[in-house]
Amino acid sequence: MKLSTITCALLGLASEVAATALTYKLVANEKACFFATTKKPNEKIAFYFAVQSGGSFDIDYEVTGPDGNIIMDGQKERQGDFVFTGKQIGDYKFCFNNEMSTFAEKFVDFELAVEDEARVSIPSKQGSSPEQTSALEESLFKISMQLSTVTRNQKYFRTRENRNFSTVRSTEKRIVNFSLIQILLVIAMGALQVFIVRFFFQAGLRMLTYLTTQGARKGYV
């Protein structure tokens, strides 16, 4: 009976939250917008994003309310985690702007969640006291908060891993490009040395031939 009560409470909690998690690739000079809809006034809206790879791992963002007013914005931010109250009913627009990049494309992980601020009451078992039900409810909400903390930590470590991996790939490409340039320079220097040596030998041979020809003419005369 206790297990079924906890299950019902968790299902009630899940029904009060609508979340969307996506990974989106922003090409250079692109602006992409996404929407979250509130059905009741004063609902909580959670907004999280992190640039996983591309450029300097930064992006411009802007959050606009249903009335068109800007709620929050930022320039060249690597990641953000915000929670605000949607006082109006309607569509809230979340935009990412990569117009500052000339050629770099960027991968952005983001999550939008809309949840009702009111707590869901746990169905009480017959014969149980309100204190027991309240204690169980508080335990469930503590578990929910701890799970949220674990999820945020996982997102943070995933972001760090992706950024480090992107840095390693970028460094690898630079090393390969530098090695190729160095090989081409060595080949070019070798060819230039061969050309210079041949030029001096050919010039000396021409001079020797000219002097020999002139000496032969003078001896004949």
- pLDDT of residue 220 exceeding 70: no
Give CA–CA dist 35/96, Å, rounded: 12
- pLDDT of residue 48 exceeding 60: yes
Give CA–CA dist 180/140, Å, rounded: 60
- pLDDT of residue 201 exceeding 90: no
Band of pLDDT at residue 137, cut at 50, 70 and 90: confident
Residue 9, pLDDT score: 40
Q: What is the pLDDT of residues 49-71, one digit of tens each?
A: 988 888 888 899 999 999 999 99
Give CA–CA dist 39/166, Å, rounded: 40
| Three-state secondary-structure class, residue 221 | coil
- Average of per-residue pLDDT values in the chain: 78
Band of pLDDT at residue 8, cut at 50, 70 and 90: very low
Contacts (Cβ under 8 Å, ≥6 apart) of 61:
49, 73, 74, 77, 80, 94, 95, 96, 97
72-76, 125-129, 185-189: segment of lowest average pLDDT: 125-129
Task: Give percent above pLDDT 70 in the chain.
Answer: 77
Helix H, strand E, coil C: the string for 120-158 is: CCCCCCCCCCHHHHHHHHHHHHHHHHHHHHHHHHHHHHH
* R_g over Cα of the chain: 35
Band of pLDDT at residue 102, cut at 50, 70 and 90: confident
Q: What is the pLDDT of residues 140-160, one digit of tens each?
A: 767 877 787 787 778 778 777
Residue 12, pLDDT score: 44
Q: In what order do the strands lie in the sheet with 17-26?
A: 17-26, 106-115, 43-53, 79-86
